[in-house]
């Protein structure tokens, strides 16, 4: 149901395939999957009325999968459709996004109980890898010690709002941070440390509560300062032990993957 709600949000935000339009120069880079999509002609085929039908199928299969959890036909169709949507959106936007929460977490529901458990653990380790590798990559590129990194990201995302002189609490905080460069650098370094802390998740489940708090702080920092709203990856919290224990206490949980 959370996936269906996110897709509805995307629909109202104009981010489904039939809404994002056709980019005449699709982003391909050195990416074998993108090139295969181009060779197969998928971007050209899923356009116009076909794009609208595709989006309806995407929304419908997500809702059916929630309503009838004991079957997996709709889940298989949804996974295929969402993979195609994910690639087409990235190609049209001209970027490689790491918003893979729905893509990874929907896959385990194709399988029965035993295979589901293995796939869910894989989703957990994918979450750990995404967070930890992002922190490592920032250090390797020298972003950890760059004195103006967060300030530049904030300006890039909020320049229009700041230029218009909008008087909001967020803009006032951003102006203060820009005028005092030590603090945005400190916040940036803290966010990187929060990412690096996810290395614990590879070795033990005992730190999952700690990691959940860290991700919430990381998510809040990114949202409040830069406006980055990565709701798809927020779903990865479902793989952490405190959330799993909470869900396990809910009535009917054991019947979901029986």
Cβ distance 46 to 16 under 8 Å? no
Q: Are residues 43 and 152 in the same domain?
A: no
What pLDDT band is residue 80 in, cutting at 50, 70 and 90? very high
Task: Identify whether residues 29 and 67 lie together within a single domain.
Answer: yes
Residue 257: the pLDDT is 44
* Look-up of token digits 């995407």: 58
CA 140 to chain CA centroid, nearest Å: 23
Report the phi/psi class of residue 31: left, alpha or beta, with left for phi > 0 and alpha for psi in -120 to 50: beta
End-to-end CA distance of the chain: 19
Q: Which comes out higher in pLDDT, residue 42 or 96?
A: 42
Split into its structural domains, the chain has a count of 2
pTM over 0.95? The answer is no
Q: What band does 190 get if pLDDT is binned at 50, 70 and 90?
A: very high
User: Does 164 or 9 have the greater pLDDT score?
Assistant: 9
> Do 25 and 66 belong to one domain?
yes
Residue 107 resides in a domain: no
Compute the distance between CA of residue 82 and CA of residue 54 in angstroms, rounded to an integer: 10
- Stretch 135-154: mean pLDDT: 81
Instruction: Please give the pLDDT value at position 160.
Output: 64
Looking at residue 258, what is its pLDDT? Answer: 36
- Report which of residues 213 and 165 the model is more confident about: 213
The burial of 160, by beta-carbon neighbours within 10 Å (0-12 exposed, 13-18 middle, 19 or more buried), is given as exposed
**Average pLDDT for the chain:** 84
Residue at which a domain ends, from 50, 67, 97: 97
Does residue 105 belong to any structural domain of this protein? no
Q: pLDDT class for 255, splitting at 50, 70, 90? A: very low
Considering the domain architecture, whether residues 92 and 120 belong to the same structural domain is answered as: no
Instruction: Calculate mean pLDDT across residues 203-209.
Output: 93
Residues 256, 114: Cα–Cα separation, whole Å: 13
pLDDT tens digits for range 223-251: 887 777 788 899 999 999 999 888 777 66
Full domain range(s) for residue 86: 1-97
Same domain, 148 and 87: no
Alpha carbon of residue 118 to chain centroid: 21
Given this model, what pLDDT does residue 27 score?
63
Same domain, 183 and 92: no
**How confident is the model over 110-122, as a mean pLDDT?**
86
Orientation angle between helical segments 182-196 and 149-163, nearest 10 degrees = 120
Residues 6+ apart with CB under 8 A from 134: 98, 195
Whether residue 139 lies inside any domain: the answer is yes
Residues 74 and 132 in one domain: no
Q: What is the mean pLDDT of residues 125-129?
A: 95
- How far is Cα 61 from Cα 180, in angstroms, rounded to an integer? 50
> What does the pLDDT average to over 83-111?
87
Q: What is the pLDDT of residue 236?
A: 94
Domain assignment present for residue 103? The answer is: no
What is the arithmetic mean of pLDDT over 82-90?
92
Q: What is the pLDDT of residue 141?
A: 84
200 has pLDDT over 60: yes
Q: Which of 41, 72, 97 is the last residue of a domain?
A: 97
Q: Is 198 a residue whose pLDDT tops 80?
A: yes
Task: Note the pLDDT of residue 22.
Answer: 61
Q: State the angle between helix axes of 182-196 and 169-179 in degrees (0 to 180), rounded to the nearest 10.
A: 100
Question: Where residue 23 falls among pLDDT bands split at 50, 70, 90?
Answer: low
Q: Is residue 108 part of a domain?
A: no
Same domain, 92 and 123: no
Residue 185 lies in a domain: yes
The number of beta carbons lying within 10 Å of the beta carbon of residue 94 is 12
Same domain, 187 and 223: yes
């Amino acid at each position: 149901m959370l996936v269906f709600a996110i897709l509805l949000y995307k629909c109202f935000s104009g981010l489904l395939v039939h809404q994002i339009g056709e980019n005449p120069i699709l982003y391909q880079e050195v990416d074998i999957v993108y090139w295969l999509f181009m060779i197969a002609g998928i971007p050209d085929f899923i356009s116009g009325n076909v794009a609208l039908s595709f989006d309806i199928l995407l929304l419908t299969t997500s809702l059916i999968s929630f309503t009838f959890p004991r079957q997996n036909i709709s889940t298989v169709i949804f996974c295929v459709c969402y993979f195609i949507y994910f690639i087409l959106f990235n190609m049209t936007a001209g970027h490689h996004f790491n918003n893979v929460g729905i893509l990874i977490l929907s896959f385990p529901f194709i399988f029965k109980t035993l295979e589901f458990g293995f796939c869910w653990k894989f989703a957990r380790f994918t979450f750990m890898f995404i967070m930890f590798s992002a922190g490592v990559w920032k250090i390797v590129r020298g972003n950890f010690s760059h004195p103006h990194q967060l300030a530049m990201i904030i300006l890039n995302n909020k320049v229009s709002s700041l230029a218009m002189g909008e008087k909001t609490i967020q803009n006032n905080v951003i102006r203060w941070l820009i005028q005092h460069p030590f603090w945005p650098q400190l916040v940036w370094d803290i966010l990187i440390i929060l990412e690096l802390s996810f290395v614990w998740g590879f070795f033990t489940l005992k730190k999952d509560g700690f990691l959940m708090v860290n991700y919430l702080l990381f998510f809040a920092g990114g949202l409040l300062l830069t406006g980055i709203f990565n709701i798809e990856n927020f779903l990865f919290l479902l793989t952490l032990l405190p959330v799993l224990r909470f869900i396990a206490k809910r009535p009917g949980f054991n019947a979901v993957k029986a």
